[in-house]
Amino acid sequence: MNKETLQQSMYDLIVETSTNLPKDVRRAIRSAKARENAGTRAAMSLDTISNNVKMADDNVSPICQDTGLPTFKIKTPIGVNQLEIKEAIYAAMVQATKDGKLRPNSVDSLTGANSGDNLGLGTPVIKFEQWEKDYIDARLILKGGGCENKNIQYSLPCELEGLGRAGRDLDGIRKCVMHSVYQAQGQGCSAGFIGVGIGGDRSSGYDLAKEQLFRSVDDVNANDDLRKLEEYVMDNANELGIGTMGFGGETTLLGCKVGVMNRIPASFFVSVAYNCWAFRRLGVKLDAATGGVDEWFYQEGDKIDLTQGSEAELETAAASSGEQPNVVVLEAPITEEKIRELKVGDVVHINGRMYTGRDAIHKHLSENDAPVNLDGQIIYHCGPVMLKDDEGNWHVKAAGPTTSIREEPYQGDIMKRFGIRAVIGKGGMGPKTLAALKDHGGVYLNAIGGAAQYYADCIKGVDGVDLMQFGIPEAMWHLNVEGFTAVVTMDSHGNSLHEEVDKSSLEKLAQFKEKVFI
């Protein structure tokens, strides 16, 4: 194979996967938009997602800022040098990261150091398989951390909240799959897709589950029992009412694919791989002699513009009751009195300064002084994609929210200690943070997960950065924003939309407790 041609093919696969949502996924999102009621938070979220996909197309920029753990699945003819393919992938990963198409996401598990180029022990993941066809089948999935953290594995028999006992049979499997959708809530950037692996051991079961995510959304399972299970889950999971971003709504699940393998008598695992709406998965057919691209997978059919028919103003839909929501402009420093006026369902437009802060920053602030005065300020749970120009200035290439629940052990204490008045993230937070918001006078603002281009457009400049020793995703970036829009989902009066949706969806889950003959 030609080294340069192969490397260019792998680079194109990485860039296209990061920036161009597959057509089968677009069709699923379009169907979800058609099901939602106009003027609801779910409809608003889907419109924002649609705009984000269009902006990623136009800018050739990452759909979501979270590169995840890039996973390549490659089938090669006998005799093809797999070491050459690995080398080409490594070089393409470095170049794509340098070009701002991927966020540097490879972190040393012991030291916390970011490699800066997405290479490291175990990253990226490359899985080879030989076959007797005469071409190379190369596929890539970029599965972000927010949805990766909602993967779940069940060991049957077990007791499931809301569903009771799940036994070692097809009905027990059904209960596990339904529960997996419930437990994800909005933290995995719903509406999402799930791959299910039945059997195997703990590691092979998860591998099988992730393998299902490489199937097309539109395909039909050849196993009749699994086909019926997939159809059952798609027919019923959306009855849970979790909805897009966990705001409530008609669509919680966009796709379900199930695979099965043998197991040993002592173990019966059901493994579920959850993927967010930003289902970045593409593939190419490569000429085994040249390394050039002959065909793209998952891109059959006409180009789909998801913004057609959208009404992408967040404030028109923040109150699902149909009432006109309260719209408030925030600019730091914010007073406690201003925060106390906000309530769940209000829309905020943020102008001026905000600071990013995620896992490393929260741990650092729990043990050290802040590098800046955070009194009355806003913290954004975000690990952006950043590029520095020739003059040394930083530019934001993608900047959607990260899942907030990871900061639950720290958030309330940090807000009180430093006087922080507002935090922005996705998926909501837990009881400790809710209690701190009430006691301290703070608010949680939910941004739309995965909307990395939509929010990057609201950032008008980077005014500085602190704690760069943690790497680009984990540093504290000083952002100058204009019209940054989010919805109040946890207020200073003890109210939480996330708590309400969790409770109502658990009640709805209980209706699927009785045995079903699929």
The answer to whether position 509 is within a domain reads: no
Q: Are residues 77 and 104 in the same domain?
A: yes
pLDDT, position 205: 98
What are the tokens at 479?
Answer: 């952002």
Q: Are residues 250 and 331 in the same domain?
A: no
Q: Are residues 194 and 140 in the same domain?
A: no
pLDDT, position 53: 97
Cα pseudo-dihedral 204, 207, 208, 214, rounded to 10: -170
Contacts of 22 by beta carbon, 8 Å cutoff, 6+ apart: 279, 280, 281, 282, 298, 299
Q: Are residues 463 and 475 in the same domain?
A: yes
**Cβ atoms 116, 62 nearer than 8 A:** no
- Collapsed DSSP state (helix, strand, coil) of residue 48: helix
Query: What CATH code is carried by the domain that includes residue 461?
Result: 3.20.130.10
The answer to whether position 175 is within a domain reads: yes
Q: What is the CA radius of gyration of the chain?
A: 23
The answer to whether position 404 is within a domain reads: yes
Q: Are residues 302 and 397 in the same domain?
A: no
The answer to whether position 318 is within a domain reads: no
| Distance between CA atoms of residues 404 and 425, nearest Å | 5
pLDDT, position 160: 98
Q: Are residues 170 and 230 in the same domain?
A: yes
pLDDT, position 201: 98
The answer to whether position 5 is within a domain reads: yes
What is the chain's pLDDT, residue by residue, as a tens digit (518 residues)? Answer: 899 999 999 999 999 999 999 999 999 999 999 999 888 888 989 999 999 999 999 999 999 999 999 999 999 999 999 999 999 999 999 999 999 999 999 999 999 999 999 999 999 999 999 999 999 999 999 999 999 999 999 999 999 999 999 999 999 999 999 999 999 999 999 999 999 999 999 999 999 999 999 999 999 999 999 999 999 999 999 999 999 999 999 999 999 999 999 999 999 999 999 999 999 999 999 999 999 999 999 998 888 999 976 554 455 544 444 556 788 999 999 999 999 999 999 999 999 999 999 999 999 999 999 999 999 999 999 999 999 999 999 999 999 999 999 999 999 999 999 999 999 999 999 999 999 999 999 999 999 999 999 999 999 999 999 999 999 999 999 999 999 999 999 999 999 999 999 999 999 999 999 998 76
pLDDT, position 362: 98
The answer to whether position 370 is within a domain reads: yes
DSSP string, 372-424: S--TT-EEE----EEEE-TTS-EEEEE-PPPBGGGGTTTHHHHHHHHT--EEE
Q: Are residues 359 and 402 in the same domain?
A: yes
pTM: 0.94
- Domain range for residue 253? 145-275
- The number of domains in the chain is 3
Q: Are residues 285 and 216 in the same domain?
A: no
The answer to whether position 511 is within a domain reads: no
Q: Are residues 131 and 189 in the same domain?
A: no
The answer to whether position 510 is within a domain reads: no
Q: Are residues 451 and 336 in the same domain?
A: yes
pLDDT, position 323: 52
Q: Are residues 111 and 13 in the same domain?
A: yes
Q: Are residues 357 and 444 in the same domain?
A: yes
| Distance between CA atoms of residues 451 and 473, nearest Å | 16
